Structure 1
Amino acid sequence: MREGRKLLEYKDLQVHVETTPNTELKEHLYSTVLGTPGGLRYIHCSLEDRLHAPGENYFMYLHKQDKMLGSVGFVGRHTETAGVRHDSWLIRYFSIKAPMRSVPKAERKKNSADTREGRPTVLGRFVKPIFKEPSQLRPDEDEQGPAIIYAFIEEKNIQSYNFSVQMGMECLGEAVGFPFSRLWPKHSARIERLPREEEQDMLALIRDFYSDHVLFVSDPLFRDGHYCVIREKGKVVAGLQYYPITWVIKDFGGAFTNRVMKVLGKTAFVKRRANPDNFRLLAYDGLYCAPGKEDVLYELMEGVLAREKCYMALLEMDKESGLYSLLRRKKRFGLLYRIFGEFKARVMATFIRMPGEAVAEIKRKPFYIPTYDNS
């Protein structure tokens, strides 16, 4: 018998919503190869913490009898845009575990919107009401306020992109992710972990740094005491949050690279830095840089790698953000950046009862992209 609330039912199909990931979903995610063909492909081994992200977590499952066919995860947070308080729902872990048939043509004709959006899957048919009213995810939710539903979808992930279009989402911009690596990361004696009592002051600096972004969220920051800073004359001039991650790499993204790694991967030097069966890296989040202190930020990023005995970190941000421009001035991202390049994703969103001025601001400004939610 399924746990959680039953939202919808259609013939022998049912949709349930739960606040925690079930065992079947975990097993599926831990065996799913992420990335896109022709690029870096890997299995994420550090998902447990991410599945319980700060905010409201809801997992929708489509079942046929007791078999899970697909799932969609939502993280809900309260945000403010242009003076309007609203819900922000980030989509994560969209997956189709089994082949999904399309809605029969005769039934599609009953709904002209479905016809315009192509061939909607049964999963899409069930999820679409939630995209029109996400407050249904909450038990006994009566208030129906303004909201945005958004997602970051890899450029080559056609299946997820088509699904988002069927749900009425539009592309608002482009996000980029890229590696920062050092084969011999240098230690910096100036790096320190931010004391707990200084977190609110640091948060004020970070908020100001991202004041020209929309949908800023601070929930993941300062986790596990992993916010590091460098000071000059007693003032913080650079800061970042890091999260340890482990991958199992299935494909380095090219036949030549795979052959090279197969040979060199047996050496102690390479295996310590890029072991495909236990690839350790960091995700950087909440970066802060005082004006003119780009070199210090690079010192911090490299020094944290050295402290954690890692050789690569992952960064993600809006392509139109000032941070992206700031980092690209130096573009000292390391060897792995030259090998893998940048990973691009579409910023997809749909609005529910959002006032025009809030929608205009979201479309005009870059998104704040928490690496925590997307790594």
Structure 2
Amino acid sequence: MHCMKIIFEKNLYKLYIRHKPDLKIIDLLKRTCWGTKETTYQHQDTEQNIMKVPDPLFFSLEKEDKLIGTCCFSKRSIHKNNHTIDFWYSRYFSIDPKNQGGIFGNMILKNIRTYFEKEIHTPSVFYAHVDASNTRSHKLLNHIGFEKIRSFETLTFSRLYPKKHKAAQMLLQPDKQIMLDLLQEAYKNYELAHFDLRFFDGNYFIFKIEHEIVAGIRVNKAHWIVRHLAGFSGKMIMTCLPYIPVLSRLFNPKDFRFAAFDGIYCKAGYEKEFFQLMESVCAIHKVSTGLTWMDTQSSLYNRLKTAMVGELWINSKSKFLPM
């Protein structure tokens, strides 16, 4: 049994905290459909991905040993100017479908906030990413003190038959410190962006020209099942696209496998090489589609958007590319 303790109790309800998810939490997250009324999807490989979450705290609300809902906060500490700041990322917030629409989401988040206010003494920042059309989550987070600070947009890259370019390669030890310095300089104005050498463990790729790194990207393979797309076009995509041999390589709702990109670096003027790096990584991982999420106010986003003709399709409101 995982070490846990009760941090809230009222009548038959108990809110537990633990450092590792138990089987009930894993089972709920496997069954959870994420997204909104327009788009819903399920994460696959859930258990493996949960175990990769760094320094997590899992909260779970139960009634008579039956799980009602859960939420995870993952901690990352940054040392700056002789001070330590903890950043807590909220993720995996899910209420069992039989209990949705009630008070339980508010009950969980309100008591999590109370716990942190009592137990956490280091200066801390709490943040989360929420789908723009998910009004319920917006209301819950606003109720406990969160406020919107930025918007992200989904960027999609696709190639029916991606090819690997010779200049694309996995980041190896001799170049890791160089790549770290490049990322830290590129994201120096982003307090929530933090990189160290562990960021490059086995899944970071670079594009080199004459021994210079001009582009870099981290990749994680993702696997979803898309359960619902709203509207007539969504219905057509769901029912027809899986049976069109060529197009189903790009998007198969029953088995949507793609490369999820982050840690993006692109030297100004080398956007074409960055796209070639994305194509190469897709080829290496045997997928035809890659997704990433970018700050719409960043200079990098604007550079890529300007250079995207024939390369990227960007649409934050796309039915089949949820944020």
Q: TM-score, normalised by structure 1?
A: 0.77
Question: How many Å apart are 1:43 and its aligned residue?
Answer: 0.9
- Which residue identity does 1:15 align to in structure 2? L
Cα drift, residue 211 of structure 1: 1.1
**Residue 121 (structure 1) aligned with residue 120 (structure 2):** no
Percent identity between the aligned chains?
26
SS of the equivalent of 1:198 reads helix
CA RMSD of aligned residues (A): 2.7
Decide whether the 8 Å contact of 1:53 with 1:75 is kept in 2.
no
How has the CA–CA distance of structure 1 residues 322 and 344 changed in structure 2, closer, same or farther, with 3 Å as cutoff?
A: farther
2:29 match: 29
| Alignment partner, residue 117 of structure 1 | none
Q: Secondary structure at the match of 1:292?
A: coil
Structure ranking higher on relative contact order (CA contacts 8 Å, 6+ apart): 1
Give, as a single letter, the amino acid of the residue that structure 2 aligns with 1:95. Answer: S
Q: Which runs of 5+ in 2 are unaligned?
A: none
For residues 125 and 257 of structure 1, what CA distance do their matches in structure 2 show?
A: 36
Query: Is the contact between residue 15 and residue 63 of structure 1 (CA under 8 Å) also seen in structure 2?
Result: yes
1:274-353 aligned within 5 A: 274-332=251-309, 337=314, 340=318
For residues 1-375 of structure 1, the aligned pairs below 5 Å read: 4-39=4-39, 41-53=40-52, 55-80=54-79, 84-97=83-96, 98-99=99-100, 101-102=102-103, 121-133=106-118, 135=120, 144-218=121-195, 221-223=199-201, 225-332=202-309, 337=314, 340=318
- 1:350 alignment partner in structure 2: none
For residue 273 of structure 1, report the CA deviation from its aligned partner.
3.5
Question: Is the CA contact (8 Å cut-off) linking 1:175 and 1:344 kept in structure 2?
Answer: no
Question: CA 1:326 to 1:82, structure 2 compared with 1: closer, same or farther past 3 Å?
Answer: farther
By how many angstroms is 1:55 displaced? 3.0
C-alpha distance in structure 2 between counterparts of 1:196 and 1:272, whole Å: 34
Contact 2:78 / 2:86 at 8 angstroms: preserved in 1?
A: yes
Distance 1:255 1:67 in 2: 39
Letter in 2 for 1:9: E
Task: Return the offset for 1:46.
Answer: 3.0
| Amino acid in the other structure paired with 2:29 | L
Compute the displacement of 1:286 (Å): 0.7
Q: Structure 1 residue 333: deviation in Å?
A: 7.0
Equivalent-residue separation in structure 2 for 1:257 and 1:13 (angstroms): 40
Task: Give the match for residue 140 of structure 1.
Answer: none
Secondary structure at 1:20's aligned position in 2? coil
- Secondary structure of 2:177's counterpart equals helix
Tell me how far 1:188 sits from its aligned partner. 1.2
TM-superposed CA distance for 1:342, in Å, is 9.6
CA distance, structure 1, for counterparts of residue 313 and residue 23 of structure 2: 35
Call closer, same or farther: CA 1:37–1:95 in 2, change over 3 Å.
same
Task: Determine the C-alpha separation between the residues in 1 that align with 2:87 and 2:307.
Answer: 34
Q: 1:132 corresponds to which letter in structure 2?
A: E
**How many angstroms does 1:21 deviate by?**
1.3
Q: Distance in 2 between matches of 1:341 and 1:251?
A: 9
The gaps in structure 1 that reach 5 residues or longer are: 104-119, 136-143, 346-375
User: Aligned to 1:121, what secondary structure does the other structure show?
Assistant: helix
**8 A contact 1:187–1:306 mirrored in 2:** yes
> Residues 333 and 170 of structure 1: is their aligned pair in 2 closer, same or farther, counting only changes over 3 Å?
farther
What count of residue pairs does the alignment treat as equivalent? 319
Distance 1:96 1:150 in 2: 19
**1:312 Cα deviation after fit:** 0.9
TM-score by length of 2: 0.88
Corresponding residue for 1:111? none
Q: CA deviation at 1:49?
A: 3.7
